[in-house]
Amino acid sequence: MRMIFVNLPVKDLNATKAFFSSLGFSYNPQFSNENGACMIVEENISVMFLQQDYFRTFINGEIADPAKGVEVLNCLSCDSRQAVDDIVAKALAGGGKPWKPVADHGWMYGWSFQDLDGHVWEVMYADPAAIPS
């Protein structure tokens, strides 16, 4: 079984955990401690939020500054347009910032925000029955 762990540096781990908890995500205590929190996206997909000082122990060079450029696009799928709107609305209400406006392509619908550390999160829904062939 393969798993994916997206690792992101954060300034305030507790604030990050509270922010993403308000969006409906939970954490795996087996991979969480005072240095990091393992947010469960799906059974085999997790996001590791790591305190910046701890994150530095895994990298060479400097941590990218999301205020100066985008280091990664994180995209989460949803099961409806309403779910997209709900997650982004919660993110914005919880202190996130808008990133790009709604993109409605008919068969695909998306919206995006920046989290408390400036990481970009795209949230999208694609209607499998309407995907152009």
Report pLDDT digits (tens) over 13-70: 999 999 999 999 999 999 999 999 999 999 999 999 999 999 999 999 999 998 898 8
* Domain ranges (residues) in the chain: 1-58, 70-133
**Per-residue confidence (pLDDT) for residue 66, from 0 to 100:** 86
Q: Does domain 1-58 have CATH number 3.10.180.10?
A: yes
- pTM for this structure? 0.89
pLDDT at 71 over 90: no
Q: Is the pLDDT of residue 117 over 80?
A: yes
Structure confidence at residue 124 (pLDDT): 97
| Long-range contacts (CB closer than 8 Å, 24 or more residues apart) made by 81-90 | 81/109, 81/125, 83/123, 83/125, 84/109, 84/110, 84/111, 84/123, 84/124, 84/125, 85/111, 87/23, 87/24, 87/123, 88/112, 88/113, 88/123, 90/22, 90/23, 90/24
Which is higher by pLDDT, 73 or 14?
A: 14
CATH superfamily of 70-133: 2,3-Dihydroxybiphenyl 1,2-Dioxygenase, domain 1 (3.10.180.10)
